Structure 1
Amino acid sequence: MSTVAAMVVEALARLGVKTVWGVVGDALNPLTDAIRTHGGIEWIGVRHEEVAAFAAGAQAQLTGTLGVCAGTVGPGSIHLLNGLYDAKKSHAPLLAICGQVPSGEIGSDFFQEVNNDVIFADVALFAHTVTSVAQMPYLLEQAVNAALAGRGVAVLSIPGDIGGAELPKEAIPRFVDVAAPLAPHPQVLGTIAKELNEARRITMLVGAGARDARELVLEVAGKLASPMVLTLKAKEGLEEANEFQVGQAGLIGNPAAAHALERCEVLLMVGTDFPYRDSYPSGKTVIQIDAAGAHIGRRTAVDVGVVGDAGLTLAGLLPLLETKTDQTHVLDARTRYQAWTKRHLSLADPAHDSHLTGRVRAIADNPGHAIRPEAVAAAIDRLADGDAIFTSDTGMSTVWLARYVTMRGTRRLLGSYNLGSMANAMPQALGASALERTRQVVAFCGDGGLSMLMGDLLTAVAYGLPVKLVVFNNGRLGMVKLEQEQAGLPEFGTVLANPDLAAVGRACGLHGIRVEDPGALEAAISEALAHQGPVLLDVVTNPDEVSIPPDTKIGQALGYASARLKETRAHRSGA
């Protein structure tokens, strides 16, 4: 005989689940006690359930297998929602086990009762409540199978009285194997090849769906003499030693990528659902290859859509392609990209503001000679391990990572790049670190993001998770500040009254380092990365650093200038 909770834990352990994240209490007590007695799964108790969902989602993305988090009755489960939405939009297989009021009280407006099936209906592929022991293990099978096959979220709610109840017979769950990749129809490949062979200038837009097909992507780019614009998530696996890539498009991108998109005749999209419509060029022939048919044409009008795995599609396409001899398009894009990169690397020099051009620029944007965030990101790139895992908060932290950190070696990259949530970097770093505590994990944290879920600094200490939390402490919600200024508005509501964050880290048991002097930056980063336990590196950075989008409109530039003038006047008047 076994209890429902013990069966769930044993089934998850057999599937390969190593960690469950959550906050203990009432309806979850049978589950957490089963984890305690089983011994094959680690329970990590967080201070806020949102952290649990982000951490479990990070593990799912890194491993490709099921992540698991848990929240108890009512508020405990509701707190999971933001992290679950991030998993949904990141296509991460995630199981959330939620507590529910005693089965006999369901529907009576009992203390803390909420309708989990309704609450999670939008975020989950599967959301059901177990109402009798006889439904198990079938509902568990359906939940896990939905998450794995659909690469998304499943929510299984279990009342405490059912979790602790005995199963009448031995229950052996059966979980599906992940579906085999889909190959495209040969006739469609012929249509694509004809379009590509007839075009003079082709630009590739390549996303995370093509990361496992690196060599095929490079071979296609070589045959087509095509510059390659990478989405942020495609940096991992496709950035290093890629003589065709020209960086990113969109807000975090660069002019060379925008130019490569605008100059092409044919845009070949491979494994990407890049969401920013304004960044797509108009008047081009567009070919899109995506494993999900629902993604075809939902961002820009597509002339030829191919539903299929990126690797299988490109492998079938390659023999049909003619090698282009005119390299003008790709060389022009690469020359522009290299020139832009060289200009931006100068900002990453800690001594930038002591040089003549730096002193002139600093008069306008860094009169206090604070540390430039570019220097922080570039130094971390130089000093971090070749197999480090990076996470980044949404906002300016992601901009600096995108522009200055290269995904060389076996580095990995995580962020809330589809949902765009604040406060994700630290929880995702915790999840990554729990997978392999000896592997270096570096989180690019905004000061606003870190402080939102700062209580879980304690989780890093309690469970020995040696994360390196680098805080870009500019005392601002930096991306919001930029948005306001581009609209011609002076910044408002963005200033953060931060404490000494390194001191907060030390109070929580982390190794806390604070650096304000550009000359001390590299030594501080070296110290942080070398420390064996969790570290909070509090870097006071320039709040007025400007990250100009690659295709800035005249109105945005005028708006920024107008906003800065208003801010200067307000500062001088003491307003």
Structure 2
Amino acid sequence: MPTVASSIVTALAEHGVTQVWGVVGDALNPVTEAIRTEDRVEWVGVRHEEAAAFAVSAQAQLTGRIGVCMGTVGPGSIHLLNGLYDAKKSHAPVLAICGQVPSEELGSDFFQEVDNDRLFADVAVYCRTVTSPAQLPLMLEQAVNAAYAEQGVAVLTLPGDLGDQELPKHARPATFAPPGRWASASEDQLATAAEVLNGASSVTLLVGRGAREARDRVLTLAETLQAPMVLTLKAKEGLEHDNRFQVGQSGLIGNPAAAGAMDDGDVLFLLGTDFPYRDWYPTGKTVIQLDARQAHVGRRTSVAHALVGDVGETLRALVPRLTARTDSAHLDKAVAAYDDWHARQESLLDPHHDSTLIGKVRAVFDNPDDRIRPEAVAATVDRHAAPDAVFTTDTGMSTVWLSRFVTMSDRRQLVGSYNLGSMANALPQALGAQALDRSRQVISFSGDGGLMMLLGDLRTAVTYRLPLTVVVFDNGRLGMVKLEQEQGGLPEFGTELDNPDLCAVALAMGLQARRVTDPASLDEAVAWALGTDAPTLLDVVTNPDEVSVPPKPTLAQGWGFAIAKSKEALESR
């Protein structure tokens, strides 16, 4: 007869799950034993459970299929929590199987006992503890179905004495429901939106992840309306390449052209986005929002007209109702501003930039030690990376540089902690991506602060022969925090990192590695790293004082930055 543990693993294998990530131990030993004897499922043992949760969240985001991780009693399950919150906020279907003390000890404050149902209540769309073998098939079905239906996290807790118990004699295997299908917004919503769009003098599109699968229809909409298209970071994948309407990102990582396009349009049309930064929405505009999730409508900015439905299906019904525009002045202005900004950014990519007259003047203030500019690192990786590479980025400045200097081609994919904003996400997400396909190029844009947080899981890449490339922006700083402090007029404090030689650390852990300090050697080093068929780390020593100017810098920010730099000069240089 199948046991509780073997029935879980068999049902997941039948569903197509090929990996389970976590750390072995006590209450979950029956489950890991069932994995050991199931040829269809690989066990990936990490050095920290947080890495397991991040890894399977990345897998779920890349495939749309459920990712599975495990954490054993008490601390092991608690360690999953940060990665599971990232899955929640990224709308990634994830199943976490958590251990618990034996049933007879529940509620006794036993060694390592934690109330998982309370602990995971906020992060999980389904959170239950199995108390009897007879419950198992139904509870597993409910957990997985809920994770898919709500695009979130399900937590199933298993007391230590239940895993090796047999199921009742006539228990049926767990099976999982097929996904639902989204439909178009309703007729009255379509009619109103068409009337507003046809009557607008100019329209700007803010396009998010929810529109990625409707690329052709979004481009047709932009063509019809002659509308510039501001992309959220998560919309770069699928919508950035070969798109003459796109003008980059908004928000702190964005550019002046995107901010201008949003400010200048008469109507702002949000498509499949829950872009969270209220300060970056323009005021006084007529806003239309199209989203499959009703709860997203109006929670970031005031929305005059809502379209609740699938982006692709709704646009299929909406675009034929629109009158094609001939006036492209609004679009042309935004695109010209974006091209001009982009050209100025490109000037920083020349290794000899700081030798020019303008470069020498700027370098006196922001690069006196002639370190490699992070913009050049991102652009060089972009140039050498495969057309189907998967990129992950740590939260902070490495995301800024990818946003501005890496183009998502039609087959490239991108994962990051773009809603939770956690540190240390890029490496474990890259591990998860690489484990899906060991022949596909996976590149982690890691900050030195983020990498050091989960440094031990560099070894996971070696253990499981995951040939990812970790590009470290090694500026000895928590760079985004430094920028935040300086824009507020504060000298940087608490952001400096006394890193070890990260190249030497990586070599000691079994990776291929190089340290790069000379701008002239960057191109060759990146080509070497991306051509190495083994886990590889490229430790690039970058300029810690590089300034990422916000798209709409305020006078207060400018004065704050000037005051902060003068304080730093008096106190340090």
Verify same fold: TM over 0.5: yes
Q: What is the distance in 2 between the residues matched to 1:51 and 1:10?
A: 24
Equivalences for residues 9-88 of structure 1 within 5 A: 9-88=9-88
Query: Is 1:443 matched up with 2:452?
Result: no
Match for residue 240 of structure 2? 239
Match for residue 133 of structure 1? 133
Q: Given that residues 285 and 303 in structure 1 are in contact (C-alpha distance below 8 angstroms), is that contact kept between their aligned partners in structure 2? A: yes
Q: CA deviation at 1:351?
A: 1.8
Match for residue 351 of structure 1? 352
Query: Is 1:217 matched up with 2:223?
Result: no
Q: What is the distance in 1 between the residues matched to 2:232 and 2:210?
A: 10
Q: What is the distance in 2 between the residues matched to 1:144 and 1:357?
A: 58
Equivalences for residues 58-457 of structure 1 within 5 A: 58-169=58-169, 170-457=171-458
Q: What is the distance in 2 between the residues matched to 1:401 and 1:471?
A: 13
Aligned residues with identical type, % of pairs: 64
Q: What is the distance in 2 between the residues matched to 1:163 and 1:461?
A: 31
Q: CA deviation at 1:348?
A: 1.6
Q: CA offsets per residue over residues 325-368 of structure 1, 9 Å max, x none?
A: 11000000000000000000111222211222111111111011
Q: What is the distance in 2 between the residues matched to 1:348 and 1:50?
A: 36
Q: CA deviation at 1:177?
A: 1.0
Q: CA deviation at 1:174?
A: 2.1
Q: Given that residues 467 and 534 in structure 2 are in contact (C-alpha distance below 8 angstroms), is that contact kept between their aligned partners in structure 1? A: yes
Q: What is the distance in 1 between the residues matched to 2:356 and 2:239?
A: 35
Q: What is the distance in 2 between the residues matched to 1:349 and 1:3?
A: 63
Q: CA deviation at 1:544?
A: 0.2
For 1:144, the aligned partner's letter is V
Q: CA deviation at 1:160?
A: 1.9
Q: How many residues align?
A: 572
For 1:405, the aligned partner's letter is V
Q: What is the distance in 2 between the residues matched to 1:525 and 1:72?
A: 39
Q: CA offsets per residue over residues 127-175 of structure 1, 9 Å max, x none?
A: 1100111111111111111001110000000012111111122431121
TM-score by length of 1: 0.99
Q: CA deviation at 1:395?
A: 0.2
Q: CA offsets per residue over residues 9-52 of structure 1, 9 Å max, x none?
A: 00001111111000000001000000001111010000000000
For 1:514, the aligned partner's letter is R
Task: Show structure 1 runs of 5+ residues with no match.
Answer: none
Q: CA deviation at 1:377?
A: 0.3
Q: What is the distance in 2 between the residues matched to 1:97 and 1:2?
A: 18
Q: What is the distance in 1 between the residues matched to 2:319 and 2:307?
A: 15
TM-score by length of 2: 0.99
SS in 1 for 2:244: coil
SS in 1 for 2:572: helix
Q: What is the distance in 1 between the residues matched to 2:158 and 2:7?
A: 13
Match for residue 515 of structure 2? 514
Q: Given that residues 7 and 171 in structure 1 are in contact (C-alpha distance below 8 angstroms), is that contact kept between their aligned partners in structure 2? A: no
Q: Given that residues 237 and 410 in structure 2 are in contact (C-alpha distance below 8 angstroms), is that contact kept between their aligned partners in structure 1? A: no
SS in 1 for 2:161: helix
Q: What is the distance in 2 between the residues matched to 1:288 and 1:300?
A: 10
SS in 2 for 1:73: coil
Q: What is the distance in 1 between the residues matched to 2:65 and 2:392?
A: 19
SS in 2 for 1:568: helix
SS in 2 for 1:261: helix
Q: What is the distance in 1 between the residues matched to 2:221 and 2:410?
A: 22
SS in 1 for 2:124: coil
Match for residue 482 of structure 2? 481
Q: CA offsets per residue over residues 264-304 of structure 1, 9 Å max, x none?
A: 11000000000000000000000000000000000000000
Q: Given that residues 362 and 369 in structure 1 are in contact (C-alpha distance below 8 angstroms), is that contact kept between their aligned partners in structure 2? A: yes
Q: Given that residues 227 and 334 in structure 1 are in contact (C-alpha distance below 8 angstroms), is that contact kept between their aligned partners in structure 2? A: yes
Q: What is the distance in 2 between the residues matched to 1:180 and 1:219?
A: 23
Q: What is the distance in 1 between the residues matched to 2:95 and 2:347?
A: 46
For 2:33, the aligned partner's letter is D
Match for residue 465 of structure 1? 466
Q: What is the distance in 2 between the residues matched to 1:289 and 1:486?
A: 34
Q: CA deviation at 1:423?
A: 0.2
Q: CA offsets per residue over residues 290-326 of structure 1, 9 Å max, x none?
A: 0000000000000001110000011100110000111
Q: Given that residues 472 and 540 in structure 1 are in contact (C-alpha distance below 8 angstroms), is that contact kept between their aligned partners in structure 2? A: yes
For 2:137, the aligned partner's letter is P
Q: CA offsets per residue over residues 199-248 of structure 1, 9 Å max, x none?
A: 01100000000000000000000000100000000000000010100000
Q: What is the distance in 1 between the residues matched to 2:15 and 2:268?
A: 41
SS in 2 for 1:156: strand
Q: CA deviation at 1:64?
A: 0.2
Q: CA offsets per residue over residues 418-449 of structure 1, 9 Å max, x none?
A: 00000000000000000000000000000000
Q: What is the distance in 2 between the residues matched to 1:49 and 1:447?
A: 20
| 132-141 vs 203-212, greater mean Cα deviation | 132-141
For 2:418, the aligned partner's letter is Y
Q: CA deviation at 1:409?
A: 3.1
Q: What is the distance in 1 between the residues matched to 2:125 and 2:385?
A: 38
Where does structure 1 differ by over 4 angstroms across 4 or more consecutive aligned residues? none
Q: CA deviation at 1:182?
A: 2.4
Q: CA deviation at 1:4?
A: 0.5
Q: What is the distance in 1 between the residues matched to 2:136 and 2:95?
A: 16
For 1:37, the aligned partner's letter is T
Q: What is the distance in 2 between the residues matched to 1:83 and 1:158?
A: 20
Q: CA RMSD in A?
A: 0.6
For 2:8, the aligned partner's letter is V
For 1:494, the aligned partner's letter is T
For 1:466, the aligned partner's letter is P
| 433-442 vs 352-361, greater mean Cα deviation | 352-361
Q: What is the distance in 2 between the residues matched to 1:54 and 1:565?
A: 40
Match for residue 568 of structure 1? 569
Equivalences for residues 539-558 of structure 1 within 5 A: 539-558=540-559
For 2:119, the aligned partner's letter is I
SS in 2 for 1:414: strand
SS in 1 for 2:351: coil
For 1:38, the aligned partner's letter is E
For 2:400, the aligned partner's letter is V
Q: Given that residues 23 and 49 in structure 2 are in contact (C-alpha distance below 8 angstroms), is that contact kept between their aligned partners in structure 1? A: yes
SS in 2 for 1:204: strand
Equivalences for residues 528-539 of structure 1 within 5 A: 528-539=529-540
